[in-house]
């Protein structure tokens, strides 16, 4: 049909052209159409020409000023040389805009334009009604976007139980300041609000494209929002209670109240209750002392025992509970103490009590100290012959004797978190820390007890512990330490360092299975921190004790410079064929800026070279087995974990004759007299008396030594200075011209007391005896081993040098000497 009309209009245009003599004309229709979203439309364009102006050009459509239409949503149909049509189906709002029909003529074009508007029909309006405190009702609805076509929404109502068009009334009061709302007032004649009367509300929306409406059926009393409560008051009632009071917003109405209260510790609680009283009161209990509480109260109507309508706007008040005694004791840890001056002083540390549990401002600390007098011999890490001091056996005994056994010390400065005490190193102590506020101490509190063990019950400490950082991670710290077999846990401490800093420490615990730890301390650097470590263990009696805090010597840098040995010195040892080398490394600051030195390598060269490994904490080494009269070249270098320095060469050293170092202990009276005579000392009475005195003294010493030697079953006791794992024991036999060395056989070594092993089985390096030998000393029984030596015939003149070598079992070529030579005479 649309196409037929297009042909008709085309013929009319031709007739007009011939009648009035118009050369060329372009027409587009319909003009400025308006359609609803989703509908369809056909737009036509015709061209009128004269015979003399005939051209083969055809008209075309342009949309929104762009080039020729190519959108697939538009379809173009060329009916003949002078008529073209544009078809649009399922129109959408974004397709609105000017559509132009053009005909190219010579160097220009002829056109005609129409504006297409696509808009939405009115949507069904949404609205809601609310009654304020049973007095006024307001109904409001959402505005509709007109999309270029204005949409009007009107409200009608009646109070019948059915809806007819003839009974509708217009909104009594449109809000002048708030669009899209209508109000009913309390005293407004025939339009007055009647809360308990049924209402029909009709919202009617209309524009050029159509209309729609929504019906709302309601009883205003079901949509009431009460006014806020009046005269709300709140105050504290003691340290753990509060009182609230207020006036009802509408007397006689049953209201459901909601009371929310929260504290500065994010403790949120809610109480609900119903009341129709004019004046309401409420008690709050189980509150936190010295805490700010914020209270919010709102209400909603209660209809047939259920909340109905809308919550009122809330009213707020606040109060602070009264101060009380602290709920907890200040945080402590088992190892939070430091032993000073050979355990004659103990510095105890604690942390400030959190305000959450302080119940007020802390004004002082009380430290109770109990010097225990009842001990058991089982609480010792040493031997059964050590001091029998230990800890109190039971908690009940401890508490029953508090009054008689405590002494109290006070710190009247809340910013101080440490205190130093004089103690007896042979005694054990209990210590507790308590805090008080203006309300006093919490006498019913049982604080955690810190055990300060006597010197014989102190757990073993790691032999090795360091802390490192990186220059690019200056607030990341990495801890490493050697495992302690008896440890049940470790604690890492970081304390303030500096004169103007409070003596304050924090800590973290580490499982006993770990020997590494990482700390990230934002805004802290090693210049402001001192690190320490403690070891916690369980005594044989079941009590947990700690070694106390032991400081890390320094903070090393993993990527720091490797320290080179300096100030290297040589000194002759009193033992023959040996040399002592000492050195230093730069250690001037706590934050070293240097890498940690794990070990040193000593290279000794004569005809051939060999190397010795020395622990990084050592600053000297004793070299044995050097040939008399020979000159040696000595070199040193430092080793870090993954790097090493170059060798530092030293001056050559020549080994002197051992005669200059003959021990006085093996020089007899005759030799002493010969020495005196050789030095041209005149033999006077005084000289003879002096020589006799020396001889008598030496004789007494020999007798005592022989008696001790006999009573100890002919045993030689060697004291090992460090608690390290024993690798092997070596006996050197020196007889002037000959030097032999042999390992101690299993029949020559008595290790009773070590790992509870009474005799030795296995290879001479003893690796199958104990996993770890932590010895204070070792006993070697006398054995006639000179019979198999090359100098057996001179056995009576031989001196036996006995020393312990501790080192890596798999590196027998370079053991570490950790004890002095002990010379004895062989009978």
DSSP for 332-343, written as a single string: --TT-EEEETTT
pLDDT of residue 719: 37
Partners of residue 203 on adjacent β-strands: 155, 214
pLDDT of residue 596: 85
| Rounded-to-integer distance, Cα 156 and Cα 203, Å | 7
Q: Which tokens go with 238?
A: 């003691």
CA distances, 347 to each of 456, 461, 548 (Å): 19, 18, 10
CA distances, 274 to each of 248, 262, 284, 303 (Å): 11, 21, 16, 11
pLDDT of residue 138: 93
| Rounded-to-integer distance, Cα 119 and Cα 38, Å | 9
Partners of residue 734 on adjacent β-strands: 739, 799
| Rounded-to-integer distance, Cα 263 and Cα 266, Å | 5
pLDDT of residue 744: 38
| Rounded-to-integer distance, Cα 662 and Cα 659, Å | 5
Strand arrangement of the beta sheet that strand 230-236 belongs to = 230-236, 242-247, 279-284
- Whether the CB-CB separation of 71 and 65 falls below 8 Å is answered with no
Residues 58-107: tens digit of each pLDDT: 888 888 777 666 556 778 888 887 888 988 888 888 888 899 988 887 77
202: which residues sit within 8 A by CB, 6+ positions away? Answer: 155, 156, 157, 163, 168, 213, 214, 215, 216
| Rounded-to-integer distance, Cα 622 and Cα 673, Å | 33
Neighbour-count burial for 730-758, b at 16+ CB within 10 Å, e otherwise? bbbbbbeeeeeeebbeeebbbbeebeeee
- What distance lies between CA 597 and its chain's CA centroid? 29
- Whether the CB-CB separation of 378 and 413 falls below 8 Å is answered with no
- How many C-beta atoms surround the C-beta of residue 629 within 10 A? 9
- Whether the CB-CB separation of 380 and 457 falls below 8 Å is answered with yes
pLDDT of residue 749: 38
What does the DSSP 8-state code read for residue 166? G
Sort strands 306-307 and 292-303 into parallel, antiparallel or unpaired: antiparallel
Q: Scanning the structure block, which residue is given the tokens 């230093």? A: 584
| Rounded-to-integer distance, Cα 675 and Cα 671, Å | 6
pLDDT of residue 598: 83
- Per-block average pLDDT, block size 10, for the chain (827 residues)? 49 48 79 91 86 66 73 77 87 88 80 90 91 93 81 86 69 83 90 88 90 90 94 94 94 92 89 92 94 95 91 95 95 91 84 93 93 47 34 38 68 91 86 94 92 86 88 88 93 86 89 94 86 90 86 86 84 71 80 84 88 86 82 88 82 68 36 38 48 69 54 37 38 35 36 33 32 37 35 36 35 36 32
Plot region of 809 (φ>0 → left; ψ -120 to 50 → alpha; else → beta): alpha
| Rounded-to-integer distance, Cα 809 and Cα 746, Å | 17
pLDDT of residue 388: 30
| 252 burial level (CB within 10 Å; 0-12, 13-18, 19+) | exposed
pLDDT of residue 341: 66
Residues 105-135: tens digit of each pLDDT: 777 788 899 999 999 889 899 999 999 999 9
Secondary-structure breakdown of the chain: helix, strand, coil percentages, each rounded to the nearest 5: 10, 40, 45
| Rounded-to-integer distance, Cα 47 and Cα 425, Å | 120
Angle (CA) 511 512 515, round 5°: 90
- Whether the CB-CB separation of 293 and 319 falls below 8 Å is answered with yes
Question: In the chain, how many H helices and how many E strands?
Answer: 6, 58
Angle (CA) 66 70 73, round 5°: 110
Cis ω before 30 (30° cut-off from 0): yes
| Rounded-to-integer distance, Cα 197 and Cα 213, Å | 23
pLDDT of residue 189: 86
């Amino acid at each position: 049909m649309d196409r037929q009309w297009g042909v008709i209009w085309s013929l009319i245009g031709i007739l007009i052209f011939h009648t009035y003599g118009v050369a060329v004309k372009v027409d587009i229709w319909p003009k400025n159409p308006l359609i609803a979203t989703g509908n369809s439309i056909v737009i036509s364009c015709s061209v009128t020409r004269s015979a003399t102006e005939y051209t083969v050009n055809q008209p075309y459509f342009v949309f929104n000023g762009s080039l020729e239409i190519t959108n697939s949503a538009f379809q173009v149909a060329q009916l003949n040389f002078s008529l073209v049509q544009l078809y649009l189906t399922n129109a959408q709002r974004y397709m609105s805009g000017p559509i132009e029909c053009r005909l190219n003529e010579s160097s220009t074009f002829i056109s005609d334009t129409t504006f297409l508007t696509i808009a939405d029909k009115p949507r069904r309006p949404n609205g809601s009604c609310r009654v304020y405190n049973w007095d006024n009702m307001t109904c409001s609805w959402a505005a509709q976007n007109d999309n270029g076509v204005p949409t009007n929404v009107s409200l009608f109502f009646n109070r019948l139980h059915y809806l007819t068009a003839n009974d509708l009334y217009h909104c009594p009061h449109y809000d002048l300041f708030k669009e899209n709302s209508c109000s009913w007032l309390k005293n407004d004649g025939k339009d007055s609000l009647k809360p308990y009367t049924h209402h029909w509300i009709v919202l009617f929306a209309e524009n050029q494209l159509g209309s729609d409406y929504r019906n709302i059926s309601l009883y205003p009393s079901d949509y009431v929002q009460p006014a806020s409560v009046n005269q709300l008051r709140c105050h504290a009632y003691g340290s753990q209670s509060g009182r609230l009071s207020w006036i009802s917003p509408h007397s006689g109405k049953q209201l459901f109240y909601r009371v929310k209260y929260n504290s500065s510790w994010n403790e949120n609680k809610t109480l609900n209750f119903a009341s129709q009283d004019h004046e309401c009161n409420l008690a709050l209990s189980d509150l936190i002392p010295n805490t700010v509480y914020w209270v919010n109260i709102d209400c909603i109507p209660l209809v047939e025992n259920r909340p109905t309508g809308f919550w009122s706007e809330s009213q707020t008040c606040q109060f602070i509970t009264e101060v009380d005694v602290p709920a907890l004791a200040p945080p402590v840890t088992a190892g939070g103490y430091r032993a000073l001056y050979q355990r004659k002083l103990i510095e105890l540390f604690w942390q400030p009590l959190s305000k959450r549990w302080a119940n007020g401002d802390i004004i002082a600390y009380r430290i109770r100290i109990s010097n225990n007098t009842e001990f058991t011999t089982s609480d010792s890490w040493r031997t059964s012959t050590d001091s029998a001091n230990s800890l109190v056996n039971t908690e009940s005994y401890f508490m029953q004797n508090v009054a008689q056994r405590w002494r109290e010390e006070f710190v009247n400065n809340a910013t101080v978190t440490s205190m130093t005490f004089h103690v007896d190193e042979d005694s054990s102590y209990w210590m507790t820390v308590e805090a008080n506020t203006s309300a006093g101490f919490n006498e019913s509190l049982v604080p955690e007890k810190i055990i300060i063990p006597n010197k014989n019950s102190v757990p073993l400490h790691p032999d090795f512990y360091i802390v490192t950082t990186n220059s690019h991670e200056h607030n990341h710290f990495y801890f490493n330490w050697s495992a302690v077999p008896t440890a049940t846990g470790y604690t890492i401490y970081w304390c303030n360092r500096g004169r103007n800093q409070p003596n304050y420490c924090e800590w973290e615990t580490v499982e006993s299975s770990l020997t590494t730890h990482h700390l990230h301390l934002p805004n802290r650097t090693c210049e402001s921190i001192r690190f320490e470590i403690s070891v916690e263990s369980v005594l044989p009696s079941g009590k947990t004790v700690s070694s106390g805090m032991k400081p890390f010597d320094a903070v090393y840098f993993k990527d720091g410079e490797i320290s080179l040995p300096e100030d290297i010195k040589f000194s002759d040892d009193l033992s023959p064929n040996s040399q002592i080398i000492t050195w230093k490394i730069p250690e001037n600051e706590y934050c070293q800026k240097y890498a940690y030195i794990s070990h040193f390598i000593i290279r000794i060269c004569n005809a051939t070279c060999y190397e010795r490994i020395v622990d990084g904490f050592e600053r000297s080494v004793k070299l044995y087995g050097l040939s008399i009269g020979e000159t040696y070249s000595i070199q040193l270098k430092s080793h870090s974990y993954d790097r090493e320095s170059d060798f530092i060469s030293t001056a050559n050293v020549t080994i002197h004759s051992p005669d200059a170092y003959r021990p006085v202990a093996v020089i007899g009276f005759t030799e002493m007299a010969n020495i005196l005579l050789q030095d041209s000392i005149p033999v006077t009475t005084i000289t003879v008396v002096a020589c006799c005195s020396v001889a008598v003294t030496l004789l007494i010493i020999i007798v005592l030594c022989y008696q001790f030697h006999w009573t100890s079953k002919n045993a030689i006791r060697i004291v090992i200075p460090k608690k390290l794992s024993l690798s092997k024991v070596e006996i050197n036999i020196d007889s002037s011209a000959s030097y032999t060395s042999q390992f101690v056989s299993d029949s020559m070594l008595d290790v009773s007391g070590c790992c509870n092993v009474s005799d030795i089985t296995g290879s001479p390096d003893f690796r199958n005896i104990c996993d770890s030998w932590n010895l204070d000393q070792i006993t070697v029984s006398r054995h006639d081993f000179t019979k198999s030596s090359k100098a057996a015939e001179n056995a009576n003149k031989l001196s036996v040098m006995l020393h312990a070598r501790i080192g890596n079992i798999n590196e027998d070529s370079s053991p570490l000497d950790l004890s002095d030579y002990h010379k004895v005479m062989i009978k």
